[in-house]
């Protein structure tokens, strides 16, 4: 489920190509709104009139953490891209498994295995190898925001893992509407009517479906392995560009991608399966 979620996330680049006239705020605004609506419909389909109870049963701290980390992470990602290069954002985003491992240990006492830590270092090296030519130490503000984005993703992952006895989809839906508000206030509300269908589809396929899968996967996959599998997005994004648009990836992207795949395999095979907790 976590791998399938990553496959869906990796379609972001393909969707962005379908709306070339929009900026990051506009895309983030309406895909967040679409995601929130789709998740609400999902909850109504599954729980019916008991849906409000599913919101109330989530601890307030869990609701705020999950929704807040999602909204802040999505918003800071767009902000980071306006201050620094995509290469910097990608490389610093690869620190998420490290943050996740530390946070999981401190907050949940979920100790990452040696294999997982080795995998995290290997994956970080793989991402850095891919984007090394575009890295710049001068864009300190953008780099700081990109690092905060990785921290937010780690926080979201640890929150889902810590509160795995609850269905956290309601909290994620709240995060989608919060993203809509934040990105909208930054200028994302106004988009051409003909792009809304693409953005709604993006919210469904690239956010709502993978987040449901990721939340379900968090019930049995250790936190650091969750974020390591999510790093496969760095590999899959250029793959879709090659498969659909015939954009040939660079040799660095191929080599770095293989390194990331190896790191994920080390983490998955070398980490004992965590117990599943059903809600």
User: Model-level pTM?
Assistant: 0.84
Q: What is the pLDDT of residue 271?
A: 64
Task: List Cα–Cα distances, 96 to 4, 129, 149, 194, in angstroms.
Answer: 19, 17, 8, 36
With a pLDDT cut of 70, the percent of the chain lying above it is: 95
Domain residues for the domain of 164 are 2-270
Mind listing the pLDDT tens digit for each residue in 213-241? 999 999 989 898 999 998 888 788 778 87
Residue 265 lies in a domain: yes
Of the candidates 207, 186, 169, which has an alpha carbon nearest to the alpha carbon of residue 55?
169
- Rounded to whole angstroms, how far apart are CA atoms 45 and 142? 41
Structurally, the chain folds into a number of domains equal to: 1
Task: List Cα–Cα distances, 178 to 42, 131, 196, 277, in angstroms.
Answer: 18, 31, 19, 28
Residue 245 lies in a domain: yes
Residue 277 lies in a domain: no
Residue 106 contacts residue 192 (beta carbons within 8 Å):
no
Residue 195 lies in a domain: yes
Mind listing the pLDDT tens digit for each residue in 197-219? 999 999 999 999 999 999 999 99
Residue range 80-90: mean pLDDT, rounded: 78
Residue range 62-71: mean pLDDT, rounded: 95
Structure tokens at 112: 């990452």
CA 164, 160, 57: angle at the middle one, nearest 5? 60
Residue 275 lies in a domain: no
Helices (H), the chain: 2-9, 12-18, 24-47, 51-57, 60-83, 86-93, 96-103, 114-131, 140-162, 169-183, 196-202, 209-217, 223-230, 233-245, 251-270
Residue 125 lies in a domain: yes
Residue 32 lies in a domain: yes
pLDDT mean across residues, the chain? 87
Residue 276 lies in a domain: no
């Amino acid at each position: 489920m976590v791998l399938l979620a990553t496959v869906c996330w990796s379609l972001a680049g393909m969707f962005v190509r379908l709306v070339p006239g929009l900026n990051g705020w506009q895309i983030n605004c309406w895909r967040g709104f679409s995601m929130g609506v789709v998740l609400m419909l999902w909850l109504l389909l599954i729980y019916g009139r008991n849906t409000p109870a599913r919101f109330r049963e989530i601890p307030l701290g869990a609701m705020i953490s999950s929704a807040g980390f999602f909204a802040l992470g999505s918003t800071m990602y767009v902000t980071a891209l306006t201050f620094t290069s995509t290469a910097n954002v990608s490389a610093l985003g690869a620190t998420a498994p490290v943050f996740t491992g530390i946070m999981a240990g401190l907050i949940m006492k979920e100790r990452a295995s040696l294999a997982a830590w080795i995998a995290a270092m290997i994956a970080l090296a793989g991402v850095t190898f891919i984007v090394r030519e575009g890295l710049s130490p001068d864009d300190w503000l953008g780099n700081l925001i990109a690092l905060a984005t990785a921290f937010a993703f780690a926080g979201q992952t640890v929150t889902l893992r810590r509160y795995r006895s609850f269905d956290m989809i309601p909290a994620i839906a709240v995060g989608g509407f919060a993203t809509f508000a934040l990105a909208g206030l930054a200028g994302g509300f106004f988009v051409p009517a003909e792009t809304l269908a693409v953005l709604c589809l993006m919210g469904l396929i690239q956010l709502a479906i993978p987040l449901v899968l990721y939340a379900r996967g968090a019930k049995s996959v250790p936190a650091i392995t969750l974020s390591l599998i999510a790093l496969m997005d760095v590999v899959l994004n250029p793959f879709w560009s090659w498969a659909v648009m015939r954009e040939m990836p660079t040799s660095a992207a191929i080599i770095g991608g293989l390194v990331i795949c190896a790191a994920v395999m080390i983490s998955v095979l070398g980490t004992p399966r965590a117990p599943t907790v059903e809600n």
